[in-house]
Structure formats: structure tokens, C-alpha cells
């Protein structure tokens, strides 16, 4: 899943040296409040493109995650203490949109989408609030339509604890 990150096949090897188990060495294992990756609020509803809250309708599916409003090019920070395991692209057939998969220090799976990861970030340990990349522009994929505005730019955050999907809004202020 390093589609958007050429040169990444060595990621796991690069991560290996000094790769202590997360949670040792002063890493905060239990994290009550996470960091907002953009500093923005949860996206409301766009007429053409649905709502940004967790569980919002996506036709037959539900929105598995929460959208935090962003400005294209802005700095995006890690919402949690952990390790950036790999790149993660939201769309199988559109490599122009990217993101990262983070394993939190307490073992949760965290996907952060619609950002260009910083060079060399894959395989590195991060603390909440550390810069991990820059926000992408979603309005080229979801433009103004039928006289309604383009999608509100955002960063999508999805969190799972094992197989259980969690509401990011309960964790991220
Ligand atoms: Zn979303």
C-alpha cells in the first residue's frame, strides 16, 4: 500500500533499527484525548457530498470515520502517539489522493486520509501533534455541482480497536 510513496519498499527495514516496542520508554500508552490533525471542526453537511460526522449516511453504507476541516497545503499533525506503519490511499483507482496508516502506542489502528505524507515519515515514530504531511485539495475530485458548492476540504480519520470501529469524535477534541 505504498502506491503514493515511491521508494517505500524499504520502509519496514528502515523502521527496524532501534524499533523498541511502542509503549516502552515513556511513550504514553493510554491516551484519553487525541490531537486534532487539522485544528478544524468536524465537517458539516455538503449538499452534494454528504456530512462529515461519524456514521453519516453514504447511501447503503455509513461514514466510517470523521472529517476534520482543512485548508489545502496546511500542516497536518498526528492525532496520536504511535508509529506510521505505511502509506494508505483512500481510492484503489486514484493514486492522487494519499494518507497514512498509524498504529497507536496503545494498539489502535488509525487511518488519516487526504494528506501528502512528508518524505521519510513512513516507518517513523510519532507523538501526537508531530507534523506528518500537508492537506490535499479534494475539490478537484468533488467539485461544485448543480449550483452547489464543492466539498468542504477535510482530513478523514478512521479508528479501529481490533475489529471495532470507533467514533473519532469521542477521542479527538
Ligand atoms: Zn470522511
**What is the percent of the chain with per-residue pLDDT over 70, rounded to a whole number?**
83
- CA of 136 from ligand 1 middle (Å) equals 13
Closest CA to 132 of 68, 69, 65, 82: 82
CB–CB of 78/100 below 8 Å? Answer: no
> What is the chain's mean pLDDT, rounded?
87
Confidence of residue 55 (pLDDT cuts 50, 70, 90): very high
Distance 157 CA to ligand 1 centre (A): 7
Structural domains of the chain sorted by starting position, each given as residue range(s) with its CATH number in brackets:
34-170 (2.70.70.10)
Query: 7 or 40: which carries more pLDDT confidence?
Result: 40
* Residues 155-170 pLDDT 10s: 999 999 999 999 999 9
What pTM does this model have?
0.82
CA–CA distance from 137 to each of 102, 156, 167 (Å)? 22, 13, 24
Amino acid at each position: 500500500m505504498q502506491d503514493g510513496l515511491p521508494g517505500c519498499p524499504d520502509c519496514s527495514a528502515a523502521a527496524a533499527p532501534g524499533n523498541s516496542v511502542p509503549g516502552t520508554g515513556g511513550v504514553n500508552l493510554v491516551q484519553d484525548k487525541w490531537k486534532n490533525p487539522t485544528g478544524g471542526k468536524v465537517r458539516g453537511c455538503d449538499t452534494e457530498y454528504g456530512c462529515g460526522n461519524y456514521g453519516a449516511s453514504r447511501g447503503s453504507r455509513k461514514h466510517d470515520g470523521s472529517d476534520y476541516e482543512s485548508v489545502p497545503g496546511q500542516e497536518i499533525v498526528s492525532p496520536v502517539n504511535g508509529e506510521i506503519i505505511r502509506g494508505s490511499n483512500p481510492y484503489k483507482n486514484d493514486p492522487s489522493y494519499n494518507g497514512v496508516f498509524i498504529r497507536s502506542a496503545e494498539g489502535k489502528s488509525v487511518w488519516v486520509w487526504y494528506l501528502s505524507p512528508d518524505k521519510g515519515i513512513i516507518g517513523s515514530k510519532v507523538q501526537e501533534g508531530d507534523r506528518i504531511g500537508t492537506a490535499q485539495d479534494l475539490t478537484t475530485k468533488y467539485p461544485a455541482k448543480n449550483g452547489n458548492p464543492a466539498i468542504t476540504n477535510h482530513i478523514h480519520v478512521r479508528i479501529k480497536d481490533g475489529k471495532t470501529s470507533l467514533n473519532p469524535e469521542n477521542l479527538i477534541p
